[in-house]
Chain A
Amino acid sequence: MAVTDEPLALTTGEDLVVDRPLGVFTRPQGGKGWRDWLSTVDHKKIGIMYGVAAMFFFVVGGIEALLIRLQLAAPDGQILSADVYNQVFTMHGVTMVFLFIMPLAAAFANYLIPLQIGARDVAFPRLNALSFWVWLSGAIFLNTSWIVGGGGADCGWFCYSPNSGLAFSPSHGVDFYALGLQIAGIASLVSAINLIVTCLNMRAPGMSLFRMPVLTWMLLVTQFLLLFAIPVITVALFLLMFDRLFDAQFFNPEAGADPLLWQHLFWIFGHPEVYIIILPAFGVVSEIIPTFSRKPIFGYSFMVFSGIAIGFMGWGVWAHHMFVSGIGPLSVWAFSMSTMFIAVPTGVKILNWLATMWGGKLRFTTAMLFAVGTVAMFTIGGLSGVTHALAPADTQQTDTYYIVAHFHYVIFGGGVLGLMGGLYFWWPKVFGFMLNETWGKVHFWTMLIGFNLTFGPMHVLGLQGMSRRIDTYSPGFGFAFWNLIATIGAFIIALSVVVFFLNVWKSRRDAPHLPAPGPDPWDARSLEWMIQSPAPEHNFDEVPIVESDDEWWHRKYGYDENKNVVRIATIEEATQKGDAVGVHLPAPSFWPLVVALGLPIIGYGLIFNLWLCVLGGALVGLGIYSWALEPVDDPDADHDHGHDDHDDDDDDDDGEGAEAEMADATAGAEEGAD
């Protein structure tokens, strides 16, 4: 199938291909209207869309968090009923994890991996678009359960059976959870495959694995974690779905099933998941701190290996979430031991960052503030993590606010602060203007203060015995004071988020009156700073030949005979001009969007009416086949990629055309049909 020596007569693709002149290479600001965005296969635009959507869901999840905090602000809270409260905290967890922080990390991965390794795009641009659209359709699908599903899922984000069973959660919320995460999972899996191949196969000449920037490394490890973790939750979600929709007996104790099966499957996924959340932020911090210390990252290889080690060890600790669930004492002991030692590679990272700052010249831009804040705040969360790792101690801590404190410190204090720093750092590269530093600093400090006010007291509350997932507490417990503080803190965080949005708005408005930031506003170190800002559509005019790690920095600086750093080239001299013409770029396509639209329809079908599945399945099938049959290039486009090269070469173009399609069809069809 799918062989496109010449455009096929039956091709359905061309008509829909947006007529996009391939000769224009500075990326148009904001693109050319919505059709461009819907059909784009450009990893940068896809990255931006991930980022925007993620921030949207941050606000959604944040509003849910504020509702939680309002309800708990005082004893006997009356704002939400118990039922709604349960839905709100469940959807808060699910939204924040799957719809905010993962896609925000995906935004960085999509935008930056190709740039950092000197590639034109990811390995499979259309698959990349597919990932985004599938994720988005899953995200929207999940949230429509508020409207059509009789409420959100109410089983907690880890949705333990049998509480997630039909008998105990009769609304459709859990069905939406199972199917929505399934759909989002397809996106993560496809994107993991794509980005792994990109890292392994698309590097610029000389960009050996051990010259890849730490961010790319951490993102690569993250993709491997996703690659192997997603199938596990897929299994779990399928079993749950079969139980709920087709009366299977996987988790029903009445039928002799063992509810702990769900817990194992969930946490085999769930623990790697937490490193999926944190490693990208670690990567971001590892880019920012050296830049603003004017030093190379300290212990590059230790940084990389500790990241890999975290990735590996993350697979052997999952049952630390099940210390009190009644798995035997030997299992508990083994998992307790393995968990403790994960502190070691993480500690290496923390200390190497400190060593990078040691003797450096620290310039506290907003990005740097966030990065340094991340180091400190993550450490607090990591250390409370170590106290959970002691199984006997955890029997007192588990399912209390002490845990809630732990994971918000690592997730928010580590993940969110880190990625926020990344936003400030790469903003000029992505959008061509700087975010206002003063406002940025206000953002940072309000966020830091709000964050500590919110989650710091939760340590105390947890040790005082406040259980998590409770919708009210009585005055006599003595929880009132710290809860009030936490609620105030949450609103300060909200304020800081508003400051951020205002900053974006204001900076954008002011941008025309300010000098353009130029390609390399921070005097940074990796390849993405070598090209113009915003990054031109074709990324690199010429693919750079890489000769060292921190390649870009070494193109600007050398050493004199006294080993002092001297500038050897100005930024203007060393950067690419972004004016290359005739670069062959992958043509846009609507089919990824079509495939993605089919999936939620299948989802609704499974829940409401199986006929819809036929419709959705048809859409997916149509999308996949049209995709496979559409020519790889826009045949009419005026670009200098001719088909007149010697025959053999076409094989390569068809790498996207034929072979890729085959794999796409495989992966896509499979997931679609599954």
Chain B
Amino acid sequence: MSDLFNVRRRGTGTGLLLALLLAGCASDAELDTLEPQSPVADEIWGLALPVFIIAGVVLVLVCGAVLWLSLKNRVATYEGDDEFPAQTAHNNPLELGWTIGPAILMAIIAVATSVVHFSINSVDEENAMPLTVHGETVDWEPTVVVVGQQWWWEYRYYLDGQQITTEQLADQRNLPPADIVTSGQFAIPTGQEVELIITSRDVIHSHWIPALNGKRDAVPGRFAPWKIEAYDPGVYFGQCTEFCGLSHSRMRMQTIALDPPDFQAWIDEQMAPATFDAELQAYVDAYRAGEPAAVDDEASAELRGLDVFAAQCASCHLVNGFNDMVNGEPYDGADVVSGSAPDLTHLMGRTTFAGGILNLYNEDGTVNVDDLARWIRDPNGIKENFADGLADGELPRGMPDRNLTERQIDDVIAFLITLGPDADGWMIDATEVE
């Protein structure tokens, strides 16, 4: 069975995980539904497996009967055969039997289904966990707001101890400011039931991490509750499963399960705004005040990159601590159909980018500048989108090609690398514990 389905066992040991992370598997890992790694996924499989077996038995019986009857009762021709078989045309008890029999079988399956169904749809009310936020301990009921858009996922954490309500979320374009915003990857504490509130900013998507739970559609204007939990630390892969247009196939994501202490560390890192060295900070300060400074050719690559970023990227991408204030005004929305582009504040704190399809780090732990450059050079070539060559009034869907020169690309990458923890940042550190 497991050979047939090409199951690759995933160990939870650090080494293996690290290898997996760095071995270029980020975008290519399995999505197997037969390897549940969470209580809910276990429950589902616990229901599905027996039914698969029952179905298999029925299948063998029916197809066996077809085969057996065909072989046993076959004749070559009716030519010259005047003898007819018994002309039995009905047998009511028998027929009632095979009406009621399957009905009973289905009724049993129905009961089991009901139990599992209501169980996986119930939320554990008592799952609050202590979390230190800005130096204060709060009771956090683990909740992540999941927002789909063409063609990437955004994850928003509201941590200050208050529960976010769907009323507060009513307008997906202008969600209340969150403490942490990530894209493509999100972290959860292990052994904790985390509630997901799933919605979308444009079309319908579907959030699916097969090892942890089934899917739930992200419907614009609606907030679907769903829950997720992982037994063990690790990276769990997912794929958007509702057809959402052009690059639906390249809309992937990962759940990173971390031990609670690591999770706390992750939170701390992510909460902080981006930090800059003195050179960049001066530019940033001027920018935020509405008096952008000129950058000359002699400046460092990072600074030149920041300048490019300010001119070319900042209209869509948010970097907290930089363009969250523009001309003294708070950052407002992006230039794309969904009104949003990934928050890049802690870009380097992720291991994948572009909707989970590209690796941010090479196997040796260095930044994957090649793919970053490819992405910025020609996003449409990597992930088809509707961002270039649009008619008047059409808003881009996806990341546009900003026609940067190679040098500008190098510069902007140099700047991007300054965003968030570096190669041996949170992720690898955190998952090394165990």
Chain A residues within CB distance 8 Å of chain B: 81-83, 86, 154-156, 160, 162-163, 167-170, 253, 256-260, 293-302, 324-326, 329, 332-333, 336-337, 340-341, 343-345, 347-348, 350-352, 354-355, 357-364, 372, 375-376, 379-380, 383-384, 386-387, 390-400, 460, 463-478, 481, 523, 557, 564-567
Shortest CB–CB separation between residue A486 and chain B, in angstroms?
15
Please determine whether A358 and B69 come into contact, CB atoms closer than 8 angstroms: yes
Please determine whether B62 and A350 come into contact, CB atoms closer than 8 angstroms: yes
Hey, which chain B residues are within 8 Å of A347, CB to CB?
98-99, 102
Please determine whether B117 and A298 come into contact, CB atoms closer than 8 angstroms: no
Please determine whether B219 and A363 come into contact, CB atoms closer than 8 angstroms: no
CB within 8 A of A298: which of B8, B78, B88?
A: B88
CB within 8 A of B241: which of A81, A363, A398?
A: A398
Residue of A nearest to B94 (CB): A355
Hey, which chain A residues are within 8 Å of B217, CB to CB?
324-326
Please determine whether A259 and B216 come into contact, CB atoms closer than 8 angstroms: no
CA gap between A170 and B397 in the complex, in Å: 12
**Complex interface residues of chain B between 111 and 163 (CB less than 8 A to chain A):** 113-114, 116-118, 120-121, 150
Hey, which chain B residues are within 8 Å of A463, CB to CB?
5, 32-34
21 contacts between A and B (CB under 8 A): A82-B249, A160-B243, A163-B204, A168-B397, A253-B219, A294-B85, A295-B87, A299-B95, A324-B216, A326-B198, A340-B109, A340-B110, A340-B113, A359-B85, A362-B73, A372-B70, A395-B214, A396-B210, A465-B33, A465-B239, A478-B30
Q: A294-B84, A324-B216 are in contact. Are A359 and B73 (CB under 8 A)?
A: yes
CA gap between A336 and B120 in the complex, in Å: 14
Residue of B nearest to A165 (CB): B203
Which of B32, B51, B243 has the most chain A CB atoms inside 10 A of its CB?
B243
CA gap between A465 and B4 in the complex, in Å: 14
Please determine whether B6 and A465 come into contact, CB atoms closer than 8 angstroms: no
Please determine whether A396 and B33 come into contact, CB atoms closer than 8 angstroms: yes
Hey, which chain A residues are within 8 Å of B78, CB to CB?
294, 361, 363, 523
Residue of B nearest to A290 (CB): B89
CA gap between A121 and B416 in the complex, in Å: 76
Q: Does B222 contact A (CB under 8 A)?
A: yes
Q: Does B63 contact A (CB under 8 A)?
A: yes
Q: Does B43 contact A (CB under 8 A)?
A: yes
Residue of A nearest to B390 (CB): A170
What 20 additional pairs, Cβ within 8 angstroms, besides A300-B90, A325-B217, A467-B248? Answer: A86-B243, A86-B248, A167-B337, A168-B397, A169-B245, A299-B90, A336-B110, A336-B113, A344-B99, A354-B62, A357-B66, A357-B69, A359-B73, A359-B88, A363-B74, A384-B55, A392-B43, A393-B48, A398-B214, A465-B210
CA gap between A5 and B368 in the complex, in Å: 87
Shortest CB–CB separation between residue A104 and chain B, in angstroms?
24
Q: Does B22 contact A (CB under 8 A)?
A: no
Shortest CB–CB separation between residue B185 and chain A, in angstroms?
17
CA gap between A358 and B33 in the complex, in Å: 40
CA gap between A350 and B63 in the complex, in Å: 10
CA gap between A564 and B244 in the complex, in Å: 64
The A-B contact count (CB < 8 A) is 303
Please determine whether B203 and A351 come into contact, CB atoms closer than 8 angstroms: no
Please determine whether B113 and A391 come into contact, CB atoms closer than 8 angstroms: yes
CB within 8 A of A475: which of B4, B28, B76, B81?
A: B28
Hey, which chain A residues are within 8 Å of B210, CB to CB?
396, 465
Can you list the 8 inter-chain pairs with the closest CB atoms, starting with the nearest? A476-B28, A395-B214, A465-B31, A470-B249, A326-B224, A565-B84, A253-B220, A253-B221
Please determine whether B33 and A360 come into contact, CB atoms closer than 8 angstroms: no
CA gap between A334 and B236 in the complex, in Å: 32
Please determine whether B102 and A302 come into contact, CB atoms closer than 8 angstroms: no
Residue of B nearest to A169 (CB): B245
Please determine whether B89 and A300 come into contact, CB atoms closer than 8 angstroms: yes
Shortest CB–CB separation between residue B184 and chain A, in angstroms?
15
CA gap between A467 and B215 in the complex, in Å: 11
Q: A333-B118, A393-B51 are in contact. Are A86 and B245 (CB under 8 A)?
A: yes
Residue of B nearest to A337 (CB): B110
